[in-house]
A and B are shown apart, each in its own frame.
Chain A
Amino acid sequence: MGKVLMKGNEAIAQAAISAGCEGFFGYPITPQNEVPEYMSKYLAKSGGVFVQAESEIAAINMVYGAAAAGARVMTSSSSPGIALKQEGISYCAGAQLPIVIVSVSRGGPGLGSILPSQGDYNQATRGGGNGDYRVIVLAPNGVQEATDMVRHAFRLADTYRIPVMVMADGIIGQMMEPVEIDTTPIPKAANLWAATGKGNRDHLNVVNSMHLDSVELEDHNILLNNKYLEIVKNEVEYEKFLSDDADVLIVAYGTPSRIVKSAIKTLREEGIKAGLFRPKTLVPYPYDALHEASKNVKFVLCAELSMGQMLVDVKLAVNGIVPVHFYGRTGGIIFEPSEIVNAVKSHLGGK
């Protein structure tokens, strides 16, 4: 396809179509509107199904139904909409459905704002649906990676029969960047469990999240957890930037990690050896790798567009071996490199 200049949301939608997405169900909400708009324009043309649902609750349940019937499907939304999808995500996780959810997060709580934010880290990684379940959460740092991760999300969903969320901050959704979308087809799993109509099968297929028998439900929860442990073993991804000789390790994810990179360059020019650790998978979180990377630093600084949500995971990873500090902006305000530089200096100075 070659590199083209595309808005993040449209690139995400095109990447999903190229990945073989067969159905999209969604509801309008800023800043992700270009995803359903693009889908309505192009998905049907490539043989897929587009439905504008009456709500995010309906949309995720359409996704549940279509995935249960064996189709490769997705939805997208933003913060308040993702909140409404949590019920359905729990059902999808319980019924082990391979689905993809794109979350282009905005400011909160409540209606918050339509400006970019990372205030939905807890919503994405801990979820609000009921029960013992996990979804995989991928966090791209720009338009190119967002498209790659959407493709990867479909692959992971199929491999593990699990919901996968691509958490793109509102900056990615709205910004234009040169992008090359991989168009290699992604083979679809056979989905022999799907409720497709019995046909010639010698047994019925039932897609269900209910297990009234206690032993059966515990077995099911163990199965889900074993799957998660397998994901932890195989799928953790992160990026390290100038972190090997660093005295100061900054942890950031998504687009803000790129601002942190600029700050690191400035700090290095001033003789302060700073480095970046960027989780690319928020679930599974790179706890071990971050622990290793923080062993020889003076302190870790977690930088987020929130009041400190990933901070909890950073502290879990560092596990007390060095101090963990925090710098965050919210409300749609994006920190400048100079703010990160100053934050680092203030903690160095205080030593």
Chain B
Amino acid sequence: MTVIFKKTKGLTDKPLTYCPGCTHGIIHRLVAEVLEELNVLDRSILIASVGCSVMSYDFFNCDSIQAAHGRAPAVATGVKRVRPDSIVFTYQGDGDLASIGTGEIVQAAHRGENITVIFVNNAIYGMTGGQMAPTTLPGQITTTSPYGRDVKTQGEPIKVSELMATIPGTYYVERVMTADPVSVRKAKTAIKKAFQNQVDGKGFSMVEVLSSCNIGWGLNPVDSLKYIKEDMASYFPLGVYKDKGKI
């Protein structure tokens, strides 16, 4: 018998705590596969953030540090500076990275920290019960925008990849999604690049992954994937926003 598929060594055996249908699990797997393929698991340090992925330290098969809400890029900076040979990555949601932690992410990029950031944009605060996020789409209903996000008073969704690409210190920024097998494969390619850059000492790399929150969105898992593809990806266009390696 030939083995044609086996679970990546990059994940532990602990069962994931994510809701059925949520794509955090897919993104975990992609990151884990990349760490295994690049053969860096033994020197990787995950900086877990605050959000649905708060317990990601249980799932990734590498050493981890759990950070306060929004502060993961600062924590990552501390780690990478004293352990430059380790592979340091943050795994952050949109509330964590694009609201409470905008200062930390912008400044870590500004310093050109040689770290990898996995930014999971699900347009909502999943963990706390589906409140409005900075990335919530115009008109989108959440528990704190019950009449739909009103851009006049609640602002237009923040475009993080576009913003990060303007910072001179970023090396690589790409937006991908996890909506179907093709986009998942593309997401993996981007994630691999973001880690390879760190291995090669290139500098700050971020991959924004458009992800689902079927529970928070009040959609079934299939419609959620459609929502990523049709609604989110049209407001947040996919693509490479910066690649200093290609200039």
Q: Which listed residue (A57, A63, A69, A207) contacts B66, Cβ 8 A?
A: A207
Residue among B42, B57, B61, B65 with the highest chain A CB neighbour number at 10 A: B65
Which residues of A41-88 are within 8 A (CB) of B? 49, 51, 53-55, 57-59, 61-71, 73, 87-88
Across-interface contacts of A63 in B (CB, < 8 A): 78
Across-interface contacts of B43 in A (CB, < 8 A): 197-199
Across-interface contacts of B65 in A (CB, < 8 A): 64-65, 68-69, 195, 206-208
Across-interface contacts of A206 in B (CB, < 8 A): 57, 63-66
In the bound complex, do residue A58 and residue B79 qualify as a contact, i.e. CB atoms below 8 Å apart?
Answer: no
Query: In the bound complex, what is the Cα–Cα distance between A87 and B61 (angstroms)?
Result: 28
Q: Which listed residue (A57, A69, A199, A200) contacts B79, Cβ 8 A?
A: A69
In the bound complex, do residue B81 and residue A51 qualify as a contact, i.e. CB atoms below 8 Å apart?
Answer: yes
Across-interface contacts of A87 in B (CB, < 8 A): 68
Question: Which of B69-77, B156-164, B177-185, B222-230 lines the interface with chain A?
Answer: B69-77
Q: Which listed residue (B55, B57, B78) contacts A73, Cβ 8 A?
A: B78
Q: Which listed residue (A64, A71, A200, A210) contacts B54, Cβ 8 A?
A: A210
Size range of the interface on A?
35 or more
Q: A173 interface residue, CB < 8 Å from B?
A: no
In the bound complex, do residue B78 and residue A197 qualify as a contact, i.e. CB atoms below 8 Å apart?
Answer: no
In the bound complex, do residue B74 and residue A61 qualify as a contact, i.e. CB atoms below 8 Å apart?
Answer: yes
In the bound complex, do residue B54 and residue A196 qualify as a contact, i.e. CB atoms below 8 Å apart?
Answer: no
Query: In the bound complex, what is the Cα–Cα distance between A54 and B42 (angstroms)?
Result: 31
Across-interface contacts of A71 in B (CB, < 8 A): 82-83
Across-interface contacts of B47 in A (CB, < 8 A): 65
Nearest residue (CB) in A for B60 is A204
In the bound complex, do residue A209 and residue B66 qualify as a contact, i.e. CB atoms below 8 Å apart?
Answer: yes
Nearest residue (CB) in A for B78 is A65
Across-interface contacts of B77 in A (CB, < 8 A): 51, 53, 58, 62, 65
Across-interface contacts of B150 in A (CB, < 8 A): none
Q: Which listed residue (A51, A55, A62, A204) contacts B75, Cβ 8 A?
A: A62
Q: Which listed residue (B44, B67, B71, B110) contacts A197, Cβ 8 A?
A: B44
Nearest residue (CB) in B for A52 is B111
Q: A91 interface residue, CB < 8 Å from B?
A: yes
In the bound complex, do residue B74 and residue A69 qualify as a contact, i.e. CB atoms below 8 Å apart?
Answer: no
Q: A254 interface residue, CB < 8 Å from B?
A: no
In the bound complex, do residue A210 and residue B78 qualify as a contact, i.e. CB atoms below 8 Å apart?
Answer: no
Residue among A51, A195, A206, A208 with the highest chain B CB neighbour number at 10 A: A195
Q: Which listed residue (B45, B68, B110) contacts A91, Cβ 8 A?
A: B68
Q: A221 interface residue, CB < 8 Å from B?
A: no
0 or 1 for each of A177-212: is its CB under 8 Å from B? (1 = yes): 000000000000000000111111000111111100
Q: How far is the CB of A50 from chain B (nearest CB, A)?
A: 9
Q: B36 interface residue, CB < 8 Å from A?
A: no
Q: How far is the CB of A62 from chain B (nearest CB, A)?
A: 4
In the bound complex, do residue A69 and residue B68 qualify as a contact, i.e. CB atoms below 8 Å apart?
Answer: no
Q: A148 interface residue, CB < 8 Å from B?
A: no
Query: In the bound complex, what is the Cα–Cα distance between A196 and B61 (angstroms)?
Result: 13
Query: In the bound complex, what is the Cα–Cα distance between A327 and B112 (angstroms)?
Result: 52
Q: How far is the CB of A55 from chain B (nearest CB, A)?
A: 6
Q: B62 interface residue, CB < 8 Å from A?
A: yes
In the bound complex, do residue B82 and residue A195 qualify as a contact, i.e. CB atoms below 8 Å apart?
Answer: no
Q: Which listed residue (B54, B55, B67, B78) contacts A23, Cβ 8 A?
A: B78
Q: B143 interface residue, CB < 8 Å from A?
A: no
Which residues of B64-113 are within 8 A (CB) of A? 64-68, 71, 74-79, 81-83, 86-87, 103-104, 107, 110-111
Across-interface contacts of A51 in B (CB, < 8 A): 77-78, 81, 111
Query: In the bound complex, what is the Cα–Cα distance between A70 and B63 (angstroms)?
Result: 12
Across-interface contacts of A200 in B (CB, < 8 A): 42
Given contacts A88-B68, A198-B41, contact A204 B78 (CB under 8 A): no
Q: How far is the CB of B88 from chain A (nearest CB, A)?
A: 9
Residue among A22, A57, A58, A198 with the highest chain B CB neighbour number at 10 A: A58
Across-interface contacts of B78 in A (CB, < 8 A): 23, 25, 51, 61-69, 73
Residue among B43, B61, B68, B74 with the highest chain A CB neighbour number at 10 A: B74
A-B contact pairs, 13 of them (CB 8 A): A51-B111, A54-B104, A61-B78, A64-B78, A65-B65, A66-B78, A91-B67, A195-B79, A205-B63, A208-B65, A208-B66, A209-B66, A210-B55
Q: What are the 8 tightest A-B residue pairs by CB atom distance, in nearest-first order?
A: A65-B78, A65-B75, A62-B78, A66-B78, A61-B74, A54-B107, A71-B82, A195-B63
Given contacts A63-B78, A197-B45, 17 further A-B contacts (CB under 8 A): A54-B104, A54-B110, A58-B74, A64-B75, A69-B79, A69-B83, A87-B68, A196-B83, A197-B63, A197-B87, A199-B42, A204-B64, A205-B63, A205-B64, A206-B57, A206-B65, A207-B65
